[in-house]
Structure 1
C-alpha cells in the first residue's frame, strides 16, 4: 500500500483514505458528546418562553434569552452539520475533504456552544441574583471553559509536538 503524504512522519502506516476513515470516526465520537450537550441545553431554552415567569422578566433578560436561543440554534445546526455533510457526500470519494469541512463545522459549533453556555449562565445568574458579581462569575466560568477546551489541549500539543 502507498502511504499518504507525511503519514510516516506521524508514526502511522495508513493511506489517505484510511486516515480519513479514522479521523471521521474520531470526529463523530467527539461530535456526539457536544451534540448531546447542546441539544439538551437548547431544549430547555425553548421551554423558558412558555413559563409564567417569562412575561415578568425585564427587557434586558428577555434580550439575553433571545440571543441565547439563537446561539443555541446556531450551535445545534453546526454540530449536527457534520452528520448531514457525511450523508450527502458519502460514496463520492471525497472523504478527506469531507472530514476537513466537517471538522471546521465542529469547531464553529463548539465556539457557538461556548457562546450559548455563556449567555445562558449570564441569564440564569441575572435572574437568580442582581448582584454586581454576576459578570465576574460568568467571566470565571468562561475562563474555565477556555482553559479546558483550548489552553490545556494547545499546551499539550505544543509540549509534545517535538516528540
Structure 2
C-alpha cells in the first residue's frame, strides 16, 4: 500500500493511467490541429513558390507531426491489447515513455512549423530565430521547469524533519 494515498499498486496504476490519458487528450488536440494545418499547406496557391529548403522543412515538419500523433495515440493501442492481461503497471510505464517521446516529437514539429511559417512570411533568419525561440520556450516549460520543480520537491522531502530545504537554486558561497 502507498503511505500517502492508501492505495494498492493496482489502484495506483489505474490512477496513473487515468492521469496520463488526461494529459494525452490535451496534447493530442494540439497535434491534430497542427497536422491538419500542415496538410492544408500543400494545397495553397503559394506552396509551389516555396524553395527547396522550405519544402524540406515542410516535409520534415509534417513527418514529425505524424510521429508525434502516432506516439501520443500509441498508449491507447497498448492498453487495448494488454488491458485484460492484468498488466496495468507495465501499460502505464510503456505509455508514459511513449508520451514523453511524443512530446519530444511535438516540440520539434511545433518549432519546425513556426520556422517554416516565419521563413515564408518574413525571411529565413527570422524563421530560424522564431523556430529556436519556440523550441526554447517549449523545452523550458515542458522539461526544465518540471525538472526544477521535481528537484526542489525531492530536496524538500530529503531534508531532516522539521527543517525545510532552501527553495531556490543551490548557491555556493
TM-score by length of 1: 0.91
Matches of 2:143 and 2:81 in 1, distance apart? 30
Q: Are residues 1:96 and 2:89 paired? A: yes
Matches of 2:93 and 2:146 in 1, distance apart? 19
Matches of 2:124 and 2:116 in 1, distance apart? 13
Tell me the secondary structure at the aligned position of residue 125 of structure 2. coil
Structure 2 unaligned segments of length 5 or more: list them: 158-173
Deviation at 1:74, TM superposition (A): 0.5
Matches of 2:23 and 2:13 in 1, distance apart? 15
Matches of 2:56 and 2:110 in 1, distance apart? 15
Q: Are residues 1:81 and 2:57 paired? A: no
Aligned alpha-carbon RMSD (Å): 1.2
TM-score by length of 2: 0.86
Which of 137, 152, 157 is matched with 2:150 structurally?
157
Matches of 1:68 and 1:142 in 2, distance apart? 13
Matches of 1:134 and 1:55 in 2, distance apart? 19
Which of 29, 43, 64 is matched with 2:22 structurally?
29
For 1:1-163, list aligned pairs within 5 A.
Answer: 3=1, 7-8=2-3, 11-130=4-123, 132-161=125-154, 162-163=156-157
Matches of 2:68 and 2:124 in 1, distance apart? 29
C-alpha contact (below 8 Å) 2:119/2:126 kept by paired residues:
no
Matches of 1:70 and 1:57 in 2, distance apart? 18
Deviation at 1:136, TM superposition (A): 2.4
C-alpha contact (below 8 Å) 2:114/2:130 kept by paired residues:
no
Matched residue count: 156
Structure 1 unaligned segments of length 5 or more: list them: none
Matches of 1:108 and 1:70 in 2, distance apart? 14
Higher alpha-carbon deviation: 83-92 or 35-44: 83-92
Q: Which has the higher contact order (CA 8 A, sep 6+)?
A: 1
